[in-house]
Amino acid sequence: MIKPGEVKVMKKKLNAVKIAEFVGMCILAFIFIMPFFWTVITSLKAPNEILTWPPTFFPEKPIFKNYTDVIKKINIFRMFGNSIYIALVTTVGQVFFCSLAGYAFAKLDFRGRELLFKIYLSTMMVPGMILLIPRYVIMRELGWVDKHVSVILPFIFGNAFGVFLMRQFYMTLPGQLKEAAIIDGASQPQIFIRVYMPLTKAIVSTLFVFSFMGSWNDFLWPLITLQSAKLKTLPIGLASFQSLYGVQYNLLMAGAVLSVLPVMLAFLLAQKQFIEGIALSGVKG
């Protein structure tokens, strides 16, 4: 057993560790934020200030013209709206259906579960590029080409990634909860919705952010299926600042900052959930 004196020594040592951890995190944070900082700075620079040596860390005179240019040159509000709409609808569906399937794969004992799960995992391993054409043909057969459903419906029922993530998480939850509920006479859907779902706030908010991001940043598929200007999404619009011959860095960077804002917002909203974790430490283990 530990004597009071030893505890004190441990505390001191712990503080040293804590300081080391803090310093390490600061260095890491610097490496991680610097490129983004640079993006923001560049988006505020005049074109002739961009490629200078030594580099200037604060623009001589910050200008917002790059932002107004981006807004003027592409139909940004329409594109923004389309992207938000597609991302939100897809994300809500994905979170629900991935939870449902992930739960089934982790907690329900049905025939062929392991095999089906392996097939699911496998679908992520085939390079997506060679699936474009058959998938496009399916869209044509369904009459979905040049419609928003082509970028929503194939994804709204969840994907292998989300199912995998949720399954792994549900696996860490105790099975006794289920057994207790069954004894209380609950049905399987009730068990999922009332007993398990409430415990997954942290991972659901994680999946929410990933799904939102995936949909928000998706580029090639919407590029291929959406043709009308009124349907196009933000990444498609922003990519047009990058031509075959040269890059308008200032505009591209302003676009990058604008486009990252909603995702960061989603992340910050979800942060609260990450921190809480699941509030049932007692139940587990």
Partner 1 sequence: MRKKLTAGICSMAMLMTTIGTVTVIAGESAEDKKNMSGEITFSFWGIPEEVAVQEAITEEFNKEYPNIKVNLDHVSGAADFNTTILTRISGGTAPDVFYMGEVMVPIYADKGVVEDLLPYAEQDSLDLSDYWDGVLSPAGYHDGHLWAFAKDCTPYMIYYNKDMFDEAGVAYPDSSWDFEKFKETCIAMTQTDDNGKVTRYGIAPENGWPAWFNIAYKNGGKILDEEGKRMVVDPNTAEALQFYFDLANVEHCATNPDDMTSMGGGEIDAFKSGLASMVIGGRFMTYFLKDFDGNYGFTTFPIEKSEVAPLNFVALGMAKDSNNKEAAWEFIKFYCGKTGQEINSATGMGMPVMKSVTESGVWMLEGETQEQLDVILKQFNNTKDHPFHPEWMKLMDDIFARNMTEAARGKTTALEALENAAEEANAYLEEVGR
Partner 2 sequence: MKTRQKVNPIKKGENFWGYVFIAPNLIATAIFVLIPILFSLYMSFMKWDMINPPEFVGLANFTEKMMRDEQFFIALKNTAVYSFISIPLGVVAAILVAYVLSGDLRGTTVFRSIIFIPVTLSMISVSMIWKWLLNGDYGVVNYFLSFFGIDGISWLGDERYAMMSVILIGIWKSLGFNVVILIAAFKDVPKSLYEAAALDGANGFQKFKNVALPLSAPSIFFVTVMSIINSFQVFDVVYMTTQGGPGDATRVVYYWIYQNAFKFFDMGYASALSWIVFIIIFVFTMLQMKFGGRNQSYD
- Within residues 171-210, the interface with partner 2 by CB under 8 A covers 171-172, 174-176, 178-179, 182-183, 187-189, 192, 202-203, 206, 209-210
Task: Return d(Cα 236, Cα 78) in angstroms, integer.
Answer: 12
Residues 56-95 that bind partner 2 (CB under 8 A): none
- Judged by CB under 8 A, the residue of 61, 129, 228, 245 near partner 2 is 129
Q: Which does 246 bind (CB under 5 to 8 A by kind): partner 1, partner 2, none?
A: partner 1
Residues 27-46 that bind partner 2 (CB under 8 A): 28-29, 31-36, 38-39
Decide if residue 21 touches partner 2 (CB under 8 A): yes
Residues 225-244 that bind partner 2 (CB under 8 A): 235, 238-239, 242
Which candidate, 147, 190, 200, places its Cα nearest to that of 170? 200
Q: How far is the CB of 8 from partner 2 (least distance, A)?
A: 14
Task: Return d(Cα 183, Cα 210) in angstroms, integer.
Answer: 36
DSSP letters spanning 126-147: S-GGGGHHHHHHHHHHHT-TTS
Q: Which does 56 bind (CB under 5 to 8 A by kind): partner 1, partner 2, none?
A: none
Count Cβ neighbours within 10 Å for each residue of 75-101 and write b for 16 or more, e otherwise.
ebebbbebbbebbbbbbebbbebbbbb
CA-based R_g, the chain, Å: 24
Contacts of 280 (CB under 8 A, 6+ apart): 199
Given the complex with partner 1, which of 139 and 204 has the nearer CB atom?
Answer: 139
**Of 66-74, 81-89, 211-219, 225-233: span binding partner 2 (CB under 8 A):** 211-219
